[in-house]
Amino acid sequence: MTGPRFLPASLLASLLEDPLDPGYRAAATAPPDPPALRRTASAGRYLVLAAIGVVVAVAYHQTVTHAPEASKTRSRLVKEVRDRTARTDALNDRVEAERKQVAAQRTRSLAATDAGRRAAADLRTLELLGGYTAVRGPGLTVKVADGPGKPGGDPEEGRVLDRDLQDLVNGLWQAGAEAVAVNGRRITPTTTIRQAGGAVLVDFRPVFNPYTITAIGDRDQLEASFADSAVARRFRAWTQVYGMKFSARSAGGLSLPAGTENPPRYATGGRP
């Protein structure tokens, strides 16, 4: 490599002031090269220019073909997630249908005897309380939504968290609800409400803002007790401070779907 014939006082200064390769200046003052060398160098010039063209074209082509790669992978993953969710939903529907068949069979065979009929009635109550059958009735509809947060503050403060939903659901149980659902997902004794990343998961399925919590029970008693509860008071305060939305209205003719059943693997029945 044609090295510099001088040592610059400051590397940065020389870089900024005079970026020309000092080889050119040296070659200008040196004696001319023999013609053979000049011809080779001339040919070399064109070769180098062509090589530069190829390199630039290849680099451009690489960038262009690889950029969609990332978004292609992403859309493939999104599609896979959707497909699997659809499959799980279909399997859940099948489970639901078969359970209905089993229940019908069971009712028929239990209806044969008195003891059987009593057992069937007990079973129906247990299933209703556990949240494993769809139910209808009057009750309370609670709606909450994210707010913008304090003016000039962190907007994250206005978000409804899994804790808030848990408190609301517990508040409704305490107020006397017999069945509760969050955004259409029934709460059973083993249903979890947790946060993963930015989304709230109810029974491991995401639910999104705004949130509607429906509870079935005595209309008036539910409304009064819930309005008095600590969580309702907290939420009313938050509507002022963080701009969150909160409303609790009694309604009739609410219908909640059945929750998904998780047969226990470790818990066994019997005496405590």
Residue nearer to another protein on the CB measure, 44 or 184 = 44
Min dist CB 56 to another protein, Å, is: 6
Min dist CB 167 to another protein, Å, is: 47
Residue nearer to another protein on the CB measure, 12 or 112 = 12
Min dist CB 89 to another protein, Å, is: 42
Min dist CB 7 to another protein, Å, is: 17
Min dist CB 47 to another protein, Å, is: 8
Residue nearer to another protein on the CB measure, 9 or 11 = 11
Residue nearer to another protein on the CB measure, 24 or 266 = 24
Of 123, 152, 136, 109, the residue nearest 215 (C-alpha): 136
Residue nearer to another protein on the CB measure, 65 or 101 = 65
Partners of 235 in the β-ladder: none
Min dist CB 66 to another protein, Å, is: 10
Contact residues: another protein, CB under 8 A:
1-2, 15-21, 23-25, 27-28, 33, 37-38, 41-42, 44-62
Residue nearer to another protein on the CB measure, 13 or 86 = 13
